[in-house]
Amino acid sequence: MAPFDNVDLHCHTTASDGRLSPAALLQLALDRGVDLLAITDHDNAEGHRQARAIMASRAEDFSSLTLVSGVEFSTLWRGLNIHLVGLGVEVNSEAFLEAEQQQAAARSARAKTIAARLCKKGLPDVYQAALEMASSPTAIGRPHFAQALIDAGVVKDFDEAFNKWLGSGKIGDVKVMWPTVTEAINWIKGAGGVAVLAHPHKYKMSRTKLCDLLAEFSAAGGEAMEIAFCQQRGDEQRDLARLARQFELAASRASDYHGDHMPWNALGKANQIVTGVTPVWEKYSLGR
C-alpha cells in the first residue's frame, strides 16, 4: 500500500470547540488533499463517531481519505494543563466510554466554576451563552467562554479574552478536575490506542521541565509526540525530533485545526516530518 502523503492527526469539530461540523470537516479534508485524518475532539469521540458514520454511508465519496479514531484528553501535570492525543482508540470500548464519562463530568463542572469565577470578578454571567455555543453541556470549553465574552462586549477578540481572563494562570484557567498524565495514558492504552503528547511547544516550560515531562510520559507508556506543526521553523522541528529520539518516541503531524478563524492552524497544512524520526502512523500501522 502506498504511503500517506498528507497526514493530519489533530483537529476539532463542533463536538468540542471546533467551528465545523464533522461533515464539513470531512469535506474540507477532501478539499485539502488530506489522506489520513484523525478527529481529536476534547475529551470525547462524538465527532469521530459522526464522521465514521458519514463515511460509511458515502464510501465512494471518501475513497481517498482514511479516518483514524482519536481524542484529546486534558490532564494535569505539576499544576500545568497538558494535553494527550489518543490515536487508534476503540471508541466504544468499556475503557474508553468510562474515560469519556469521567471527562464529561469534569468538563461540565469546570465550566460552571469558570462562570462563577468570572462573575466574582464583576464580569457578566456568560455561562448560558457559552453553553448554547457548545454541542452539549459536556463539550463546553474556554473558547466558548471567549466568544461569549466577545459577544457581551467585555473583550474585543480571542487574544484579549485569553490574555485577560481565560489563559494559563488567569482566573478562568480551572485545572483541578483533570486526571494525571499516567491516568490518561492508561485510558488510551486500555482502549487499544497510542498515546501522543500534544503540541509540546505550547507549554512554555523550561527545557529541564519538558524533559521531566517527557521522561514521565515515556515511562508511563506514552509512545509518540507531535513534532510537525503549521507555520513552523525547521529548527523547531529538529529540536523536537532530538527530544523524540532521546525518549524513544514516534513523531506525529498535527494542525490542531479549530476553524478558519485561526488561519495559522490550517487543516492539512502542517509541515511534513523531515527528520530522522519514525512517523507514528507508520510505526503503529494507523489507518492500515
CATH number for the domain spanning 115: value is: 1.10.150.650
Quote the domain boundaries for residue 262: 7-92+179-283
What is residue 107's predicted lDDT score, i.e. its pLDDT? 85
Strands in the chain per DSSP E: 7-8, 36-38, 66-68, 70-77, 80-87, 194-197, 224-228, 250-253
- Whole-angstrom Cα distance, residue 121 to residue 139? 24
Tens place of pLDDT per residue across the chain (288 aa): 468 999 999 999 999 999 999 999 999 999 999 999 999 999 999 999 999 999 999 999 999 999 999 999 999 999 899 999 999 999 999 999 999 999 999 888 889 999 999 999 999 999 999 988 887 777 788 999 999 999 999 999 989 999 999 998 899 998 778 999 999 999 999 999 999 999 999 998 999 999 999 999 999 999 999 999 999 988 999 999 999 999 999 999 999 999 988 899 999 999 999 888 999 999 999 987
Give pTM, 2 decimals: 0.89
Task: Give yes or no: residues 225 and 277 share one domain.
Answer: yes
- On whether both 276 and 138 belong to a single domain, the answer is no
The confidence score (pLDDT) of residue 39 equals 98
Of the three residues 166, 189, 204, the one that is the final residue of a domain is 166
Q: Are residues 220 and 138 in the same domain?
A: no
DSSP assignment of 24-67 equals HHHHHHHHTT--EEE---BT--HHHHHHHHHHHHTTTTTTT-EE
Report pLDDT for 14.
Answer: 94
Question: For position 175, what pLDDT does the model report?
Answer: 74
Same structural domain for residues 127 and 250? no
Pair (24, 136) in one structural domain: no
Beta-bridged to residue 66, according to DSSP, are: 36
Q: How far apart are CA 186 and CA 98, in angstroms?
A: 12
Q: Are residues 112 and 82 in the same domain?
A: no
Task: Specify whether 74 is located in the same domain as 183.
Answer: yes
Round to whole Å and give the CA distance between 107 and 245.
34
pLDDT for position 246: 97
Q: Are residues 86 and 32 in the same domain?
A: yes
The x, y and z cell numbers of residue 122, run together, are 464583576
User: What's residue 274's pLDDT?
Assistant: 86
Q: Give the pLDDT of residue 100.
A: 95
Give the total number of structural domains in the chain.
2
237 and 253 fall within a common domain: yes
Considering 109, 143, 166, which residue would you say is the last residue of a domain? 166
pLDDT, residue 5, reads 94
